[in-house]
Amino acid sequence: MRVGIRVKPGASRTRVGGLHADRLVVAVQARAVEGAATEAALAAVAEACGVRRRAVSLVAGATSRDKVVEVDVPQGEEPALRARLDALREGA
């Protein structure tokens, strides 16, 4: 499942939740240097979705704050992931 995210590097703490336009906000402590913020964002999305880090991959936006990631979940678990993402978008 593809998810649009907005990365906010240099945050005081890592947090996933809320919306920026139509994208899920991912605040990370890492700075936007040499891909550190992107890697931290992928790890944060994986943890928030309850999947392993290797199940989340970058599809687009390597050098942008707006990114598209692919979350790979076993077949049949898509509704649960969709519900979790909806809750995160609402700031839960």
Q: Under 8 Å CB-to-CB from 81, ≥6 apart: which residues?
A: 1, 49, 71, 73
Please list the residues that pair with 81 across neighbouring strands. Answer: none
Number of domains in the chain: 1
**Domain encompassing residue 48:** 2-81
pTM reported for the whole predicted model: 0.92
Kindly give, in sequence order, each residue whose CB lies less than 8 Å from that of residue 84, ignoring residues fewer than 6 positions away: 48, 49, 50
pLDDT grade for 92, boundaries at 50, 70 and 90: low
Predicted confidence (pLDDT) per residue in 12-63, tens digit? 999 999 999 899 999 999 999 999 999 999 999 999 999 999 999 999 999 9
Q: What's 67's domain CATH number?
A: 3.30.1200.10
Answer yes or no: is 87 within a domain: no
